[in-house]
Amino acid sequence: MPAQKRAWSLAAAMIAIGLPASAHAQLGFDLYRGGVQLTAEDVDLTRQAVREALDSGEAGYSTTWSNPQTGLNGEARLLETFDRDGAPCGTVYFTLTKQGRGIPYTLSFCKMEDEDRWGMLP
């Protein structure tokens, strides 16, 4: 897997599982994919939108975010819900967009009840 894709996969996992936005800076790389540079605030806004969609529990639920400082915006939409080993799970489609150029991603997550966070499925 190319390093850029691995970095984005890790970023996507951090977005949803609830690591602090500053955690990506501690890893020693900038999040960059498809020509879109993400700031810590962009990561945090995306993470919040994904979590809101998952917490809704309603397939089709959609929320958007925007960061006027970076010109980035995005959407998180819950595509489906399901159970896995008794845990509530969901598949989320989310995008990061700048100047009309969108970067789509679809990932599945399950609720980790004991930690009140969502973990990305492999």
pLDDT for the residue 83 = 95
Task: Show Cβ contacts of residue 83 under 8 Å, excluding neighbours closer than 6 positions.
Answer: 89
What is the sign of the dihedral through the CA atoms of 119, 120, 121 and 122? negative
Q: Report yes or no: 55 and 85 within 8 Å, Cβ to Cβ.
A: no
Tens digit of each residue's pLDDT (9 = 90 or more) over 12-57: 554 444 544 433 332 223 344 555 678 889 889 999 999 999 999 9
Tens digit of each residue's pLDDT (9 = 90 or more) over 73-122: 999 999 999 999 999 999 999 988 888 888 888 999 999 878 888 988 88
